[in-house]
Structure 1
């Protein structure tokens, strides 16, 4: 809930609750808002989540908004409810979970390959995404389902229905949202489980950032030789998640972390319609074109940080705190210097 701080005599003395709305309050842009949130679930609203998206809702199909796998191969089902939906919406979401729980591995793989536009086996893609030593067996994929219902914080009947089924042993959670209109601007408030732990954008963080090797072998040299962190095509939006002062670790597929740099002050730059970048200053040795690229293996990165990363994204979540990032940069520098 958002409260306005009231004051008198230069002292805060009152809390005034601010009225909020839901998607249904905005008429003809209701569907636009729904699509925006559906697209933002894994990139922004669950910024630190290790979830591999495998399928998204198709128009006119009886499906949830997005389906994803966790490291164990369990299916996470997100269902977004725009306005006051009531208990009937939970029954609908439960049907989605029941239906998807009966999907064979072959059917889920077919959906994933179509969604990701790839011919890679789902178990292989899952292994690479979570950097597992061994791929899961096909029978371990989708052997359990978890349902996350995103709905208006004011929808008591929806909340009560979720609580009822949760008490019955169903793996279901309610994630509330609110929309505020302050002046001429609209603000979206969202609470992820187990509590709202989104990082403050003003805090310095560490970001493991992909070098785009899967698509272009020369992308790394564009970054190394020009002191930039860059993203391209459909992934270029990820540059917007990196801020001045952040420490960026360049993650090179099949090699590991190959360099670290601090993002310098300045705006995001767009040299063309397919590229966004920020300027950086390197704090570790820099790979040179024509020489073998040395890198800290991904397993070693997890040992140093004590974290498991989701390696299939341009940004390898979770983010690191400032202290964690500085420690990893120190260890990476030592590792790269010993490798030369």
Structure 2
């Protein structure tokens, strides 16, 4: 099933409550001062250009109603660019203290870690599939959201970076 503002009625309210409740508990276990990793949807369902714009522009961005999710990031957090149907295609680290908002877009600037160089061809980028992510981290995630929860620790992000870099060789 999927969650978006138009289809939120698909999931029973009591199920949504527990998903949000347990996610908050898990996320609160991360030290507030420590960096975290957030798998963030690249908006491919709504735009075929946002992924390449984000990677070429060294930013993690959200548009329209989803702009509020950018506020989840803090400086030094990891942004894991999650492409629907493929998985994690890139990883960067937040370098700005506060997000920038321009028209219908809100974003943080990132220092790209993987890929180190990007030529603009998003389809050519290797990806870590949801199944690979679950196998590497030995856990599952709430995939049907702009932000995949629970958030990741720095150690978990490093494991994913290592595996994604192997695919770039």
Which range, TM-score by smaller chain? 0.7 to 0.9
| Residue of structure 2 in register with 1:324 after alignment | 156
Structure 1 residue 262: Cα displacement: 0.7
Task: Give the whole-Å Cα distance in 1 for the aligned partners of 2:61 and 2:67.
Answer: 7
Partners of 2:132 and 2:164 lie apart in 1 by 10
Distance in 2 separating the partners of 1:76 and 1:265 = 35
Return the match for 2:130 from 298, 308, 317: 298
Q: Kindly name which structure, 1 or 2, has the bigger radius of gyration based on alpha carbons.
A: 1
The 3 A distance-change label for structure 1 pair 297 and 196 is closer
Question: Paired residue for 2:76?
Answer: 245
Structure 1 position 287, deviation (Å): 4.4
1:202 alignment partner in structure 2:
33
Q: Residue 232 of structure 1 contacts residue 275 of structure 1 at CA under 8 Å; is this kept in 2? A: yes
Please state whether the residue corresponding to 1:307 is helix, strand or coil: coil
The yes-or-no answer on 1:76 pairing with 2:15 is yes
What SS does the aligned partner of 1:267 have? coil
Shift of 1:207: 0.8
Q: Which residue of 2 is the match for residue 67 of structure 1?
A: 12
Deviation of the 1:196 alpha carbon: 4.6
TM-score, normalised to structure 2, is 0.82
Instruction: State the SS of the aligned residue for 2:9.
Output: strand
**In the aligned structure 2, how far is the partner of 1:55 from the partner of 1:256?**
26
Q: Structure 1 77/257 Cα, relative in aligned 2: closer, same or farther at 3 Å?
A: closer
Give the secondary structure class of the aligned counterpart of 2:110: strand
SS at match of 1:277: strand
Deviations 1:264-315, CA, capped at 9 Å, x for gaps: 133210122x110000001111543246232122211111111211222111
Q: How does 1:1-340 map to 2 (within 5 A)?
A: 54-55=8-9, 67-68=12-13, 76=15, 78=17, 192=21, 196-197=25-26, 198=28, 199-272=30-103, 274-285=104-115, 286-290=117-121, 292-335=124-167, 337-338=168-169
Long gaps (5+) in structure 2: none
> In 2, are the aligned partners of 1:209 and 1:250 still within 8 Å (CA)?
yes
Greater RCO, CA 8 A, separation 6+: 2
Give structure 1 regions of 4+ aligned residues with deviation exceeding 3 angstroms: 51-54
For structure 1, the residue ranges without an aligned partner over 5 or more in a row are 1-50, 57-65, 69-74, 79-147, 149-191
Between the aligned partners of 1:298 and 1:76, the Cα distance in structure 2 is 22
Instruction: Please tell me the root mean square deviation across aligned C-alpha atoms, in Å.
Output: 2.7
Q: Please tell me whether the aligned partners of residues 266 and 279 of structure 1 are also in contact (alpha carbons under 8 angstroms).
A: no
> CA–CA distance in 1 between the matches of 2:32 and 2:100?
19
Q: For residue 92 of structure 2, give the secondary structure of its aligned residue in structure 1.
A: strand
TM-score (norm. length: structure 1): 0.43
Change (3 A) 1:282 1:200: same
Count of residue pairs brought into register by the alignment: 159
Distance 1:265 1:275 in 2: 16
Alpha-carbon distance in 2 for matches of 1:269, 1:77: 30
Hey, what's the Cα distance between the residues in 2 that align with 1:310 and 1:299?
13
